[in-house]
Amino acid sequence: MVLLDGKKVSNDIKNEIKVEVDKMKANNEKVPHLAAVIVGDDGASLTYVGSKVRACERVGFESTMVRLPHTTSEIELLHKIQELNTNDAIDGFIIQLPLPPQINTQKVLMAVDPSKDVDGFHPENFGRMALDMSTFIPATPFGILELLERYDVDTKGKHTVVIGRSHIVGRPMSILMSRKGWPGNSTVTLTHSNTKNITQIISQADIVISALGVPNFLKAEMVRDDAVVIDVGITRVDDESAPKGYRIVGDVDFENVSKKASFITPVPGGVGPMTIAMLLKNTLLAREQRAG
Ligand code: GUN
């Protein structure tokens, strides 16, 4: 079994990005500037955005965190987005999800200038991804592709089963794994809450990508010998003995599944850190495109 070490690979990527930023600085060029908008005070969202800001510092990017109260109206958020769209100092920005119920998420994501949409959530960028055109690929699926590539995992002709059809992970992942090229060229089954015989389908998978958010959903008896197992789950589970009062738990019963898998991601330290590294990569790309 080979551990797909997202912590290590994400550090490698951050070091590579830092080299590029140092070159920009040496040439007196503008460094990439990422902004993150967060509406409300959801603890998990604040943690993620905090990690994104710290990662920016680590590679030498500029960053701005825009905090808006949970009572923010859709119009107010749309105004903030217009400001960020037209602010020449900002190369890319993200709207941290989920948004409070009074705000229409799709409307908000469509207001982001596609050239600054480093999350790749705008329909134009999502469409470009589906059509194999160059674009910002959503950070979590992008991070999974990068892990598969850096560990030389064979995906061609394999049966990839994606669990979960979210716009952020499952749906784009299913498209990317079916694309021509590598990593890709898989035969993909996208499963979800209405899938019949899901355990039977999973048992036929060469590659399982679980983005369900149900702790320890994937058990050893469900996966084939030598399967490649990617765990996107990051559920907070109360644990009084843990320093923060909670633990982060994946979708996969790692202890037992790892005995059968050929490659597997741990939680934490697998897909999570890769997501942040790929957001930085998209922001670097955004800066380079704006510099022309
Ligand atoms: N919420 C959960 N994952 C993500 C992500 O990748 N980007 C944003 N903006 N919000 C999220």
User: Is residue 52 flagged as an active site residue?
Assistant: yes
Q: Kindly give the confidence (pLDDT) of every residue in the chain, 292 residues in length, as a single tens digit, with 9 standing for 90 and above.
A: 999 999 999 999 999 999 999 999 999 999 999 999 999 999 999 999 999 999 999 999 999 999 999 999 999 999 999 999 999 999 999 999 999 999 999 999 999 999 999 999 999 999 999 999 999 999 999 999 999 999 999 999 999 999 999 999 999 999 999 999 999 999 999 999 999 999 999 999 999 999 999 999 999 999 999 999 999 999 999 999 999 999 999 999 999 999 999 999 999 999 999 999 999 999 999 999 999 8
All residues at 6 or more sequence positions from 212 whose CB lies less than 8 Å from its CB, including other chains: 163, 164, 233, 251
- Give strand pairing partners of 248: 236
Give me the residue label for tokens 């009074």: 102
204 Cα to the center of ligand 1, angstroms: 30
Known binder of ligand: residue 164? yes
34 Cα to the center of ligand 1, angstroms: 14
- The closest alpha carbon to 113, from 137, 143, 93, 89, belongs to 93
* Domains of the chain, CATH where assigned: 27-113 (3.40.50.10860), 139-272 (3.40.50.720)
Q: Report the residue count for the chain.
A: 292
Give the residue, out of 42, 106, 116, 119, with the most ligand 1 atoms within 8 A of its beta carbon, to mutate for a pocket test.
Answer: 119
Residues with CB under 6 A from ligand 1: 94-97, 119, 139-140, 168, 275
User: Is residue 119 flagged as an active site residue?
Assistant: yes
Query: Of 119, 206, 231, 251, which residue is the catalytic one?
Result: 119
Q: What is the DSSP code string of 74-143?
A: HHHHHHHHHHHHH-TT--EEEE-SPPPTTS-HHHHHHHS-GGGBTT--SHHHHHHHHTT-S-PPPHHHHH
157 Cα to the center of ligand 1, angstroms: 30
Known binder of ligand: residue 213? no
All residues at 6 or more sequence positions from 251 whose CB lies less than 8 Å from its CB, including other chains: 163, 210, 211, 212, 213, 214, 215, 216, 217, 218, 231, 232, 233, 235
User: Is residue 196 flagged as an active site residue?
Assistant: no
176 Cα to the center of ligand 1, angstroms: 18
Known binder of ligand: residue 165? yes
- Smallest CA separation from ligand 1 atom 11, residue: 97
Strand ranges inside the chain, DSSP E: 2-3, 33-39, 62-68, 92-95, 159-163, 187-191, 207-210, 228-231, 235-238, 246-249, 263-264
